[in-house]
Amino acid sequence: MKARNFRYIRPTILDQAYRILAENDGGAVPIAGGQSLLATLNMRLSAPKLLVDIGDLNELAGQSYADDGTVRLGALTLHRELLASELVRKHVPLLVRAASHIGHVAIRNRGTLGGSLAYADPAAELPACAVVLGATLELGSLKGKRAVKAEEFFKGLFETDLQPGELIVGVRFPAMQAGTMIGFAELARRHGDFALVGVAAVATMQHDRTIGQARLAYFGCVNRAKLAPSVSAAVEGLALPLPDATAFEAAIRTDITTEDTPGLRADTKLHLATVLTRRVLNSLSA
C-alpha cells in the first residue's frame, strides 16, 4: 500500500517547528528517522496532513556530559551513534548493548533515540533501558519545556505522556557509577527482529558477586516499558551465579501479565522471561 497524500516541511528553527505543530492541531506529526512512521503511513494506520521533519533542528542533536553527572543525548541521536559513541560507551554502556539488537544496519543508520521513545513500541529496547537507567526526558513545545522521568513517560501500548505539539528534545541518563553492573539480553526469532522477550538490568553489587540494589525492566512480553518492582526486590541479596530461578520465578508472574499471541503462548513468554532473567543476572558485568 501507499501512504495517503501529505505535505512535508523541514524547519530549521525549533520555535518554528513548535508553531507549525501547534497551528496544525493534530494534523501535523513530527518525523525523525522515519523507520517506524513511514511503515504506519504506508499501511495507512495513520494519515497526517503534514509531516514536520525535525532532522535539521540543532537543539535536538548532540551528546554531552554535564556537571551533575548525567549524559545528555539529543533526541536525534541515531541508533548507530549509540554504538559508536565513546561517551555513551563509557558512561551509559547499557545503551550500547541494547542498540546492537535494534533491527539491522539500515534501520540503525536512520532510527533515532527520540523516535524510539516517542513511538513507545513495547518490544523496543531503548524505552526499557531508559526506564531501568532512570533517564529523564526533556520535552518542549510552544508552551515551554518540561522534564518527565522515563518511568512516568510510558503510559500504555504505543502511548506516552507526549502532549499534542510537543517534541522530545533530549534525554538525560545518569552516568554509571563505580560498582554498578549491567545486563541485557533478548530472544528474537531472527537477529534484528523485534524481541519476543527481553530484559534490561542495572544492579549495584555487594562484596564480590552478591546483588545489592537492582532495577529490571522487560520488553517484548509487556504492554509498555516499566520497572519490574517485584523481580527487582526479589533478586536483591542473591549471590551469583544463580543455580536456578526459584528466588524470583513467582515475582515475574507478579510483574508481568502475558497474553497468547500468534505462535507464542502466554505461558511460554513467562518461561522465556524466567530463563532470560537468570541468564542476565548471571552475566552482569561492568
Ligand X SMILES: Cc1cc2nc3c(=O)[nH]c(=O)nc-3n(C[C@H](O)[C@H](O)[C@H](O)COP(=O)(O)OP(=O)(O)OC[C@H]3O[C@@H](n4cnc5c(N)ncnc54)[C@H](O)[C@@H]3O)c2cc1C
List residues binding ligand X (CB under 6 A). 29-37, 39, 54, 75, 102-103, 107, 110-112, 114-116, 118-119, 121, 124-126, 162, 167-168, 194
Q: Give the list of residues 6+ apart from residue 159 with CB closer than 8 angstroms, or none.
A: 120, 224
Grid look-up 503462548 returns: 265
Q: What minimum distance in Å lies between the beta carbon of 121 and ligand X?
A: 6
Q: Where are the alpha helices (DSSP H) in the chain?
A: 14-23, 37-42, 79-84, 86-91, 93-99, 105-110, 113-119, 125-133, 150-153, 229-235, 249-255, 266-282
Q: What minimum distance in Å lies between the beta carbon of 260 and ligand X?
A: 22
Grid look-up 510552544 returns: 142
Cell digits of residue 64:
554531552
Nearer to ligand X, 123 or 181 (CB): 123
Q: What minimum distance in Å lies between the beta carbon of 210 and ligand X?
A: 32
- Work out whether the CA dihedral 17, 80, 157, 227 comes out positive or negative: negative
Nearer to ligand X, 213 or 223 (CB): 223
Nearer to ligand X, 69 or 156 (CB): 156
Q: What minimum distance in Å lies between the beta carbon of 249 and ligand X?
A: 27
Q: What minimum distance in Å lies between the beta carbon of 4 and ligand X?
A: 16
Nearer to ligand X, 251 or 280 (CB): 280
As a whole number of angstroms, the distance between CA 36 and CA 218 comes to 21
Q: What minimum distance in Å lies between the beta carbon of 144 and ligand X?
A: 15
Nearer to ligand X, 166 or 255 (CB): 166
Q: Which of 85, 49, 38, 95 is nearest to 65 (CA)?
A: 85
Nearer to ligand X, 194 or 248 (CB): 194
